[in-house]
Structure 1
Amino acid sequence: MIEVVTVSTEQELADAYAVRMKVFVDEQGVPADIEIDELDETADHFLARLDGRPAGADKEGTSPPPSTQPTSKNCPPFPPTTEHDAPPGPGG
């Protein structure tokens, strides 16, 4: 059974952080100081459990100051997602 709860205990918060560290830091290579930051202190945290075991996590209700949000000047463009988005190849 899948259950999603709003984090309300220290253990739930520790479980949510553990999931985020495994997924984003260990698996995707996000620096830990970016994944866990000062915005976590005021965020609402959520924990997903699968059969009672931590399986997912999220935080909501925060955003970085405007000066630190990605812009087109410091963020590479997204790659095409379909063949219709891709630029034409050689010859056409």
Structure 2
Amino acid sequence: MRRAHAGGASLRSLADKFHLKYATVRAAVQGTTWRHLTDPPPVPASGRGGRHALTSAQEADLVRMREKSGATYAQLGAAFGVSEATAWHVCERSRRPATD
């Protein structure tokens, strides 16, 4: 699972593939469980211990990368130093009409 996630597979797709709960897969990938496995090393939890905010330019770049390359949210999160969930939220916000 760690190798697949590092290669861009989302935690949700891995949970579905292995018939596991999302939280179980996340814990295994981050090394919270299965600590005895060291190859490859666990993927550190992003966003833990603080909040990383993207600038509006970074958010635009993230959305553009998603639209042009079809990058997964996991890949986008890794590229921009945020969680998979944050990448998803940025893309979702970009789809909503602006309200002023």
Range into which the TM-score falls when normalised by the shorter chain: under 0.3
TM-score after normalising by structure 2: 0.22
TM-score after normalising by structure 1: 0.23
Which protein is richer in strand relative to its size?
Answer: 1
Choose between structure 1 and 2 for higher RCO, CA contacts under 8 A separated by at least 6 residues.
1
Which protein is richer in helix relative to its size?
Answer: 2
